[in-house]
Amino acid sequence: MPNNYPNTSNIDTGLPITPEQVKDPGVFNELSLIYRAIKSLASAIYNRDVGSPTFSAYASAATNLVQNVYTKIGFQTTEWNVTGAYDTGLSRFTPKVAGYYQVNACVTMATSFAGGNSVIYKNGVVYKYGVSINPTSADTAIFPVNSLVHLNGSTDYIEIYCMQTAVTQNTANGAIYTYFNAALVLKA
């Protein structure tokens, strides 16, 4: 990197800087800029690794859904859980970083021909309804829900509920059938 300062050629060549050069205001300013750039980069790397909650979980055991009742869905197995913000015992995502999160979930019925929908619950109340699907044939019922959700990074949490219209049904198990995931999109 070329510069216009006297006695700074060592910075450009990678040679050690002499004590006299450190006293030069041009060299000192350039070293200060380099230090700040390295510190900023280290901070960005640290915040990216530690400060970006994301997870993906899926149902490894069925949840029994009673007809026309919204029921919390269990997602017992994680595919990843960066920062540990997802609790498999509670099937709840409680990130410790305030921001806007993309939340996605899909609940699939183990048997066919059931209408219904999935819902994102925020702090125990309905936040967003997913698509309401009422299959008219023997198709497998799949209930997706997606939304951008603001979470405060301390007490806010997300859970997934589902309602179906058949007599009684179980959810299908497995990462491709019944899943829940979220990722930080923008820090608040």
Model pTM score: 0.73
Residue 20: pLDDT band (50, 70, 90) is: low
Question: Is the pLDDT assigned to residue 168 strictly greater than 70?
Answer: yes
The answer to whether 66 and 168 have CB atoms below 8 angstroms apart is: yes
The two tokens of residue 112 are 């066919």
- If we measure between CA atoms, which residue out of 184, 164, 179, 178 comes closest to residue 56? 179
The label of the residue with tokens 């603001």 reads: 150
HSE-up (13 A, CA, CB side) for residue 138? 0
DSSP letter for 16, please: P
Residue 167: pLDDT band (50, 70, 90) is: confident
The label of the residue with tokens 């859980």 reads: 81
The two tokens of residue 182 are 């979220």
